A and B are shown apart, each in its own frame.
Chain A
Amino acid sequence: MSSVAASLSRADRIGDSSVRLVLLLLRARAILVLALLIILFTVLTPDFLTPNNLSILSKHVAIFAILAVGMTFVVLTGGIDLSVGSVAGLGGMVAGYVITQGVSFAGAVHYPNAFAAVLACLAVSLLVGALNGWLVAKAGVAPFIATLGTLYIARGAALLLSQGKTFPDLAGQASRGNTGFPALGQSFFLHLPTPVWIMLLLFVFAALVAAKTPFGRHVYAVGGNERASVLSGIRVPRVKFISYLFSALCAGVVGLIIAAQLEAAHPATGESFELNAIAAVVLGGTSLMGGRGSVTGSLIGACVIGVLADGLVMLGVSEFWQIVIKGVVILLAVAVDQLQSRLQVKFLPYLRRSRPEVA
């Protein structure tokens, strides 16, 4: 009798630990894939792991990561923000306009300094974010539609600012007192490119907010069960509104960085960036249904996309194949995600049995 019981519990224990291992591996899949890719590209191309290349790579990753970090909150609430690419384009154009065209005031043209240009860019981005937030949270428009609309509005506004032309030479002129803008994209601080520092700053901020603040918890709650959140007294519209605001802010920052790196603002900047951002978020394990995922995951997802893109370029893989491969990777990520949740459900009884306090 007792031996039967003992053998049963041992079988349970084995099942339990292996199940836990499988689930852990699945949960850490993004970082595993990243490590795998880095090893693969290091072996295949000798130049991959050089300081020079890593510096370039980190700048690419920074742009995707900033967008993905902003997008994470929106996706966690169960929404989506398609407008980030356009907002990045519009933001860069606003900064470019302020630096190269100045501001007409009382008949004379004033040239505000680079800092004012940055503020103008962020203000316009936040305006678009507020429109997104209002449409989704207050007017009840489906996020996909609302942000699809603002995608076109922002892109159109960016083209209108310059009649479709590029604002060149954002270095500014000393005589106008508006130099210094390119430093945002080109300077280094402690051997790291400034964009990478900005990305890390935003990431740490967002990760803390998500994990440690009431707002962060509300974001998860809204995405997990919107009705229950309302009934719990969570101000659901406010949570959504702020999420879209933050996403647009991140997009504006990306617009600034790109304009500063190129020393030029082009109205088509940021086209299809929203798709990269969504891909990064999904690769990072955040559920598009909302309520599940993390900011860290999105950062890793952005790294995967960046490393994959750069590595394939260095390998000389055709541009068209690169696109196909990216699609395959995204689909695989989603498939693994489904597998994980299915396994979790299947083995929940196992895990539950090992925790006696859950009666």
Chain B
Amino acid sequence: MEDRGAAIFGAGVGMNAAPPELILEARDIVKRYPGNVALNHVTFRVYRNRINVLIGENGAGKSTLMRILAGIETADDGEIFLEGQPLHMESPRDAAARGISIVHQELAILANLDISENIFAGRELTRSGMIVNRVQEDKQAVSVLSRLRKSLHVHTPAAELSLGCRQIVEVARALAHGSKILILDEPTSALSAVEAESLFQVIGEIKQLGVTIIYISHRLHELLHLGEHFTVLRSGCIVGEAVRAYVTRNWIVETMSGRTDMSYAKRSPGGEKHAVLAASGVSIAPVADGETAATALHDISFTLGKGEILGVYGLLGAGRTELLEALAGCRRATSGDIVLHGKKLRIGSVSDAIAAGIALVPEDRQRDGLVPELSIRENIALASLRGAWLSHEKECACVRQLANKLRIAARDLELPVTALSGGNQQKVLLARCLMRSPVVLLLDEPTRGVDAAAKLDIYRILRGLTDEGLSIIFTSSEIEETELLADRVLVLCQGRIAAELAGTGITDAALFSAASPVVASAPGRIEGRATA
């Protein structure tokens, strides 16, 4: 058929003369979670053998919709039609049986099994239904991987694979099961530019094999390259649908955010600031125990001025979280000094860091932050409980003051914290840290799962806090957020500082190129490439 390059980068305008045919339609889907409506009467159409792109900001409901299509969650209301037939799915198994596969944002890889075992997990090939036919599995795994043009050894344990390879294994799994529809949920969020490029090739090849693709991503340039049919989701509603010919970058941005103006408070002028925090030569050792893997950090040095917002940008696995955790005392640095207000800190534990005035708002607020059983007030006051007796009045007054300052939208602070929306839950965690009056606030992905309006609100609050003299370090995997919020950006790549950008130097291109690792270069040969 057509040249593969054209299929990927020509993006299908006018190439298919036949009118597009619906393969999957989700009609009037409603999904409610405690505290918010994730999907509000969403009708989502998927066209056969096209690359169907679904766009939306964090928390718009994209992942929820995909989880429903993949049988992982069931909708509260609405119907799904596959090739015109109503479809009822109870589990991922049902979805896979009907030819719908998903490659998850958090990859569903079994780290303790090898590649071939992973590809056939849950659907092993057997001899007479009893014994696993390892030979046949390996053969098919090899053939699928070669179709994806990946020369991976099928007996390699999945734990040893890079994120990019793990993703390929998941794609291979979908192919091996003969999927008709493949959902890719932010497949490139963890990949380097080169890995992403090779994934685009793979997507092109899968499409040639007649597979329909649903593609979710934040990266606009990818979507514009790949997409053939665009659907935009905002706050649980479909707000736009178009084919590639009618889609422009501006159209996406405007429909997605629902506003044309993305500006908020101006950056404070980068005047002379004296350093509050200085880190020099901080290194940490890599950790990997099956599920969790931590990147090693090498020789990280930077300073943080008073009232400054320092962004730490990098791809997944670049060491963003690890850096913050080392500063917050959750992770012990193997070498390097951290100096706060001219005094060298010995951070051996989280309490050391908090005592010194460094507080961390963790990335995963459900897992590491909030205590769902407790009320909003108790969650805020949690870290500040000291002494033998609790003073109820003092606590209430203090919490109320903070809640007002951070504009936490709650009717009653005694309500359970789970009643709040994502943005307000994030503010609760902020308030908890502020109650200890920190000098340096560390924020790991400050707006993950927060809707667009609440995001801007949080940015304004953070800016307000720095005006009062607080210094902030935040990490983000979103280019837009980094550009909006940071005064200065450290770009991490494979555990090293790849670039330091400031002011107008913080651009899409600069961030992206500095964050992407150079291929075929051994670790240690990265310096000299990135420039601010």
Q: Which residues of A contact B (CB under 8 A)?
A: 208, 212-214, 216-218, 220-221, 223-225, 227-235, 289, 291-292, 341, 345, 348, 351-352, 355, 357-359
B104/A231 in contact, CB under 8 A: yes
Within residues 352 to 387 of chain B, which ones have a CB less than 8 A from any CB in chain A?
none
Within residues 107 to 124 of chain B, which ones have a CB less than 8 A from any CB in chain A?
107-113, 117, 121-124
Q: How far is the CA of A358 from the CA of B156 in the complex (A)?
A: 8
Q: Nearest Cβ distance between residue B496 and chain A, in whole angstroms?
A: 16
> Quick one: CB contact mask for B510-530 with A, threshold 8 Å, 1 for yes?
000000000000000000000
Which residue of the partner chain A has the closest CB to B519? A359
Cβ of A355: which chain B residues have Cβ within 8 Å of it?
153, 156
Cβ of A218: which chain B residues have Cβ within 8 Å of it?
121-122
A sample of 28 cross-chain residue pairs with beta-carbon separation below 8 angstroms, ordered by A number, consists of: A208-B131, A212-B131, A213-B126, A213-B130, A217-B113, A220-B112, A221-B113, A224-B111, A225-B110, A225-B112, A225-B290, A228-B108, A229-B121, A230-B72, A230-B91, A230-B92, A231-B72, A232-B110, A233-B91, A233-B123, A291-B112, A292-B112, A345-B287, A345-B288, A355-B153, A357-B156, A358-B152, A358-B153
A232/B291 in contact, CB under 8 A: no
Given A218-B121, A230-B91, A355-B153, list of 15 further CB < 8 A pairs?
Answer: A212-B131, A213-B132, A214-B132, A217-B124, A223-B112, A224-B111, A225-B290, A230-B92, A234-B121, A234-B122, A289-B290, A291-B112, A292-B112, A345-B287, A357-B153
- B87 beta carbon closer than 8 Å to chain A: no
A233/B289 in contact, CB under 8 A: no
Q: How far is the CA of A61 from the CA of B73 in the complex (A)?
A: 48
Which residue of the partner chain A has the closest CB to B107? A228
B93/A358 in contact, CB under 8 A: no
Q: Nearest Cβ distance between residue A88 and chain B, in whole angstroms?
A: 29
Within residues 94 to 109 of chain B, which ones have a CB less than 8 A from any CB in chain A?
96, 102, 104, 107-109
Cβ of A225: which chain B residues have Cβ within 8 Å of it?
108-112, 290-291
Q: Nearest Cβ distance between residue B111 and chain A, in whole angstroms?
A: 6
- B263 beta carbon closer than 8 Å to chain A: no
A213/B111 in contact, CB under 8 A: no
Q: How far is the CA of A29 from the CA of B399 in the complex (A)?
A: 56
Q: How far is the CA of A221 from the CA of B93 in the complex (A)?
A: 15
Main secondary structure of the interface of B (DSSP, over half): loop
A358/B161 in contact, CB under 8 A: yes
Contact of B151 among A208, A224, A227, A357 (CB under 8 A): A357
Cβ of A358: which chain B residues have Cβ within 8 Å of it?
152-153, 156, 160-161, 165
Q: Nearest Cβ distance between residue A235 and chain B, in whole angstroms?
A: 7
Cβ of A223: which chain B residues have Cβ within 8 Å of it?
112
Q: How far is the CA of A71 from the CA of B287 in the complex (A)?
A: 30
Contact of A212 among B110, B111, B132, B152 (CB under 8 A): B132
10 nearest CB pairs, A to B: A224-B112, A214-B124, A231-B108, A233-B93, A233-B122, A228-B108, A232-B122, A234-B122, A291-B112, A232-B121
Q: How far is the CA of A25 from the CA of B443 in the complex (A)?
A: 44
Cβ of B108: which chain A residues have Cβ within 8 Å of it?
225, 227-228, 231-232
Q: How far is the CA of A216 from the CA of B130 in the complex (A)?
A: 11
- Contact status of A345 and B121, CB under 8 A, knowing A214-B126, A214-B132, A358-B161: no
Q: Nearest Cβ distance between residue B268 and chain A, in whole angstroms?
A: 43
Contact of B160 among A224, A232, A289, A348 (CB under 8 A): A348
Q: Nearest Cβ distance between residue A161 and chain B, in whole angstroms?
A: 38
A233/B92 in contact, CB under 8 A: yes
Within residues 124 to 146 of chain B, which ones have a CB less than 8 A from any CB in chain A?
124, 126, 130-132
Q: Nearest Cβ distance between residue A142 and chain B, in whole angstroms?
A: 17
Of A212, A220, A232, A352, most B-chain CB atoms within 10 Å: A232
Q: Nearest Cβ distance between residue A207 and chain B, in whole angstroms?
A: 13
Which residue of the partner chain A has the closest CB to B123? A233
Q: How far is the CA of A292 from the CA of B290 in the complex (A)?
A: 10
Q: Nearest Cβ distance between residue A72 and chain B, in whole angstroms?
A: 15
Q: Nearest Cβ distance between residue A116 and chain B, in whole angstroms?
A: 29
Which residue of the partner chain B has the closest CB to A214? B124
- Contact status of A220 and B93, CB under 8 A, knowing A213-B131, A234-B121: no
Q: Nearest Cβ distance between residue B157 and chain A, in whole angstroms?
A: 10
Which residue of the partner chain A has the closest CB to B119? A232
Q: How far is the CA of A212 from the CA of B131 in the complex (A)?
A: 5
Q: How far is the CA of A291 from the CA of B288 in the complex (A)?
A: 15
Cβ of B72: which chain A residues have Cβ within 8 Å of it?
230-231
Q: How far is the CA of A221 from the CA of B109 in the complex (A)?
A: 9
Q: Nearest Cβ distance between residue A258 and chain B, in whole angstroms?
A: 32
Which residue of the partner chain B has the closest CB to A76? B112
Cβ of A289: which chain B residues have Cβ within 8 Å of it?
290
Q: Nearest Cβ distance between residue A229 and chain B, in whole angstroms?
A: 7
Which residue of the partner chain A has the closest CB to B101? A233
Q: Nearest Cβ distance between residue A35 and chain B, in whole angstroms?
A: 28
- Contact status of A220 and B156, CB under 8 A, knowing A212-B132, A231-B92, A233-B96: no
Q: Nearest Cβ distance between residue A127 and chain B, in whole angstroms?
A: 26
Q: How far is the CA of A355 from the CA of B110 in the complex (A)?
A: 20
Contact of A291 among B122, B123, B290 (CB under 8 A): B290
Q: Nearest Cβ distance between residue A292 and chain B, in whole angstroms?
A: 6
Cβ of B161: which chain A residues have Cβ within 8 Å of it?
358
Cβ of B288: which chain A residues have Cβ within 8 Å of it?
345, 348
Q: How far is the CA of A235 from the CA of B110 in the complex (A)?
A: 15
Which residue of the partner chain A has the closest CB to B288? A345
A345/B92 in contact, CB under 8 A: no
A224/B110 in contact, CB under 8 A: yes
A220/B104 in contact, CB under 8 A: no
Cβ of B91: which chain A residues have Cβ within 8 Å of it?
230, 233
- Contact status of A357 and B289, CB under 8 A, knowing A228-B109, A233-B92, A234-B121: no
Cβ of B162: which chain A residues have Cβ within 8 Å of it?
359
Cβ of B165: which chain A residues have Cβ within 8 Å of it?
358-359
Q: How far is the CA of A212 from the CA of B290 in the complex (A)?
A: 23
Cβ of B109: which chain A residues have Cβ within 8 Å of it?
225, 228
Within residues 14 to 39 of chain B, which ones have a CB less than 8 A from any CB in chain A?
none
Q: How far is the CA of A18 from the CA of B151 in the complex (A)?
A: 28
Q: How far is the CA of A357 from the CA of B287 in the complex (A)?
A: 23
Q: How far is the CA of A150 from the CA of B382 in the complex (A)?
A: 38
Q: How far is the CA of A235 from the CA of B122 in the complex (A)?
A: 8
Q: How far is the CA of A235 from the CA of B93 in the complex (A)?
A: 8
Q: How far is the CA of A218 from the CA of B126 in the complex (A)?
A: 14
Q: Nearest Cβ distance between residue B297 and chain A, in whole angstroms?
A: 15
Cβ of A228: which chain B residues have Cβ within 8 Å of it?
107-110
Q: How far is the CA of A235 from the CA of B97 in the complex (A)?
A: 14
Q: How far is the CA of A234 from the CA of B160 in the complex (A)?
A: 23
Q: How far is the CA of A230 from the CA of B104 in the complex (A)?
A: 12
Of B102, B111, B126, B290, most A-chain CB atoms within 10 Å: B290
